Amino acid sequence: MKNLLCLLLLGGSLSCAAQAPAFQTKCDASPTGNQLQKTHCETRDLTLPAPPAGTPLTVDARLNGGITVRVWSGTSVRVRAWVQGYSGTLADARALAQAVQISSGANTLRAARANGSMEGWSVSYEVFVPAQTSLTLTATNGGIRIENVQGTIVFETTNGAVDLAGVGGDVRGKTTNGALTLTLTGSTWSGTGLDAKTTNGSVTCQLPASYAGILVARTTHGRVKASLAPEVRKLLQARSLTATLGKGGPQIRVSTVNGSIAVNQEGGGKKAGPEPEPEPEE
């Protein structure tokens, strides 16, 4: 039916493009805030050409913002920027948000105000990319979530959680003060491997019932718990786990300094859960 519709549209000299991505980011219907501070929110949609092979798409949200990257069927990069302004009056908050400028040249997304001020505003990004896209993501006071992207991926955030689901390629990054969640899909890791770290936060790993690879998990101040299939070859100690899944494969490394690690595989029995976070050592 969809193909027939496309043919009909083409027959009528209309273009049949990829279905538009379903953005989830939106502003509330009414302004938010309290007696001391008002918040104005607005969204801006952008379309960028996909970066050429070997060149990453860079998203810089270091001036207070988070990043979500998902896959879509199109060949371009679609972006929704969620811009907020904060001030004592709604009019001032609106003016702050409207003064934010978002640049997208040289395969890089970045926001700034014309006068260079870093106070009173924030920008978060929801980005849709082709499945094979390399990424360089940086955030501050916001989380990073990446879904189903394959490529050379580098990420870093401060004061934000990291959520990786169905990713592949050469993936490396860290968060300071945030939890790390990894959800593996498919039968094995596609690509070089993964090395993901957090300083102050727990780590949770979810694995399919049948998976091939080498999983290495370590914590400095915390504990490691694992619920894996009986046939998995593993060395489980209080603060570390090395597991050969199936016939082995690329290495998947996760670690934390102050936090627990929970590894769960479908069919592995009682689910392991993270323990309360230890107090960071001075």
Domain annotation covers residue 192: yes
Number of structural domains in the chain? 2
Domain annotation covers residue 25: no
Judgement on whether residues 103 and 182 belong to the same structural domain of the protein:
no
Judgement on whether residues 133 and 220 belong to the same structural domain of the protein:
no
Which percentage of the chain shows pLDDT scores above 90? 78
Domain annotation covers residue 200: yes
Domain annotation covers residue 6: no
Give the pLDDT confidence score for residue 20 in this predicted structure. Answer: 85
Judgement on whether residues 46 and 117 belong to the same structural domain of the protein:
yes
Give the pLDDT confidence score for residue 118 in this predicted structure. Answer: 75
Q: How many CB atoms lie within 10 A of CB 117?
A: 13
Judgement on whether residues 265 and 213 belong to the same structural domain of the protein:
yes
Mean of pLDDT over the chain: 89
Domain annotation covers residue 64: no
Give the pLDDT confidence score for residue 263 in this predicted structure. Answer: 97
Distance between CA 154 and CA 152 in Å, rounded?
Answer: 7
Judgement on whether residues 78 and 130 belong to the same structural domain of the protein:
yes
pLDDT average, residue stretch 57-71 = 96
User: What residues pair up with 197 in beta bridges, in sequence order?
Assistant: 174, 255
Of 110, 140, 170, which residue constitutes the final position of a domain? 140
Distance between CA 195 and CA 14 in Å, rounded?
Answer: 46
Structural domain harbouring 97: 35-55+70-140
pLDDT average, residue stretch 185-202 = 98
Nearest of 191, 60, 50 to residue 128 by alpha carbon: 50
pLDDT average, residue stretch 234-243 = 96
Domain annotation covers residue 184: yes
H-state helical runs in the chain: 2-11, 90-98
pLDDT average, residue stretch 54-60 = 97
140: Cα within 13 Å, side-chain hemisphere: 10
User: What digits encode the pLDDT tens for the residues 115-157?
Assistant: 677 789 999 999 999 999 999 999 999 999 999 999 999 999 9
Distance between CA 275 and CA 202 in Å, rounded?
Answer: 8
Domain annotation covers residue 154: no
